[in-house]
Every structure is written in structure tokens, then in C-alpha cells.
Amino acid sequence: MIVFAASVFAALFVLNLTNWAYYADTLAGIAYHYALPAALAAATLSALRLSPNARLAAALCFAAVVPALYLTELALGEQARNPDARMGGDIDRRSKIDVILDLR
């Protein structure tokens, strides 16, 4: 489980590297999208040097946290793709120009 969690963080780092144009514009973006996944992968792999009981505790934490993060991202992404369900009604899909022209 520890190796799986480390590979998830490494894959996230590689994914962010492939989309570098979106994330490399600010220092905060670089820290969040590059430094954080690399540090998490390194910290996760360093957990392999712990005692067996500590490794088990770390693996159980990762087993709870990693799927929860992905499910949260999935749920938030679904709400962003389907705004009608979130708003509970019809949405005015006119452009800004059309709204201004209709007000005249």
C-alpha cells in the first residue's frame, strides 16, 4: 500500500509535468503542483524504513486518505460539469452580449 501511495504521488507529479504550461506561472502553483507531490512521494517511500507496526499504520492512513481525496475530486468535478443539478433549475445560457442587448 505504501508503494501504491508513492506511485500515486509520483504519477501526479508526472501528470503535472506534462501540463507544465498551466501550473508554472506562479511560485505558489509551482510549489503546489510540483514540490508537494514530489515531497509526498519521497515521504511515502521513506515510510518503508519504519518498523513494521509503523508501516502498517502508515499504510492504513494512506488506504483511507488517498481514495477519499480522489472521490472528493470526482464529486466536485461532477458538480462543475453539471451546474443544473447544483442550481436546481434552468440556467440562462445566453452570452453577456446577448443579455446586454436584451436589456436595451
Residue 91 CA to its chain's centroid (Å): 28
Which residues, at least 6 apart from 5, have a Cβ–Cβ distance to it below 8 Å?
44, 59, 62, 66
Task: Give the model's confidence band at 88: pLDDT under 50 very low, under 70 low, under 90 confident, else very high.
Answer: low
State the residue for C-alpha cell 519504519. Answer: 50
Mean pLDDT of 84-91: 63
Q: What is the pLDDT of residues 10-63, one digit of tens each?
A: 887 787 787 777 777 788 777 877 888 888 888 888 888 989 999 889 888 888
Query: Mind listing the pLDDT tens digit for each residue in 56-79?
Result: 898 888 888 878 888 887 887 776
pLDDT at 98: 92
Q: Does the pLDDT of residue 86 top 70, yes or no?
A: no
- What are the cell numbers at 72? 472528493
pLDDT at residue 53, as a whole number: 93
- Residue of 10, 5, 32, 30 whose CA lies nearest to 20: 30
